[in-house]
A and B are shown apart, each in its own frame.
Chain A
Amino acid sequence: QSVLTQPPSASGTPGQTVTISCSGSNSNIGSNTVNWYQQLPGTAPKLLIYRNNQRPSGVPERFSGSKSGTSASLAISGLQSEDEAHYYCAAWDDSLRGVFGSGTKVTVL
């Protein structure tokens, strides 16, 4: 069972906005930064968002992250077919371990 809680699935039609939540606790999200990873089938994960809301170079602006208290969220606006993937939130926990969400599969209808 994952330490961070994500919905197992989310979906939307092309052009819509999809939001994925990630719920944790004071010892992880509440006191450390949140990162989001995208994983396409059969490939290594890719960093989408780091330090709660920062995009690495090359990540489109339609991906955005936010954090409030012990929860974080990833929004994908202007949904595109190539956004079909699994999305994972991750954070450091004060018990000196990395923690992940169980992942959210995004489907473009």
Chain B
Amino acid sequence: VQLLESGGGLVRPGESLRLSCAASGFSFSDYYMNWFRQAPGKGLEWVAYISNGGNTIYYADSVRGRFTVSRDNARKSLFLQMNALRAEDTAVFYCASAGGGIEAAGPVGVDVWGQGTTVTVSS
């Protein structure tokens, strides 16, 4: 059971970046997915949620209107399109799922995490 993020990097304020998360070892299409992030030296922050079928999506206020979460169940992949990036978006971004076997843990109950990908927004 594994999640692997990619796509992080250094961008300037106002630019865009697309993160990907590849799943393996579990039935990806059966589980909701989340993006979380952690700014340097700070705590965890929830970013976005997408249901297993992709038809229910929620965003944190801090990213709504700028970030778009999507998934491709055939490719077992999760995406986060990030536009109009700001310095305060600098963080390690994690994708996470409940694909490890827990049940009824709520939308932010996740037992499988990726290793994280670093996004740095700086001029």
Contact = CB atoms under 8 A, between A and B. Distances in A.
Interface of A: 2, 32-33, 35, 37, 39, 44-47, 50-51, 54, 56-57, 86, 88, 90-92, 96-103
Nearest to A103: B43
Contacts of A88: 43-44
B8 interface: no
Contacts of A96: 58
Contact of A91 (B34, B104, B106): B106
Nearest to A98: B46
Contact of B43 (A47, A91, A100): A100
Contacts, number: 80
Contacts of B36: 45
Given A37-B44, A44-B116, A47-B111, A92 B106 contact: yes
A86 B41 CA distance: 11
A51 B100 contact: no
Contact of A47 (B46, B110, B114, B115): B110
Q: A-side binding surface: helix, strand, loop or mixed?
A: strand
B27 to A, nearest CB: 17
Nearest to B100: A56
B79 interface: no
Contacts of B61: 97
A44 B109 CA distance: 15
Nearest to A90: B108
Contacts of A101: 43
A32 B96 CA distance: 19
Q: Which of B34, B36, B106, B116: most chain A CB closer than 10 A?
A: B106
B100 to A, nearest CB: 7
B9 to A, nearest CB: 19
Contacts of A51: 102, 104-106, 109
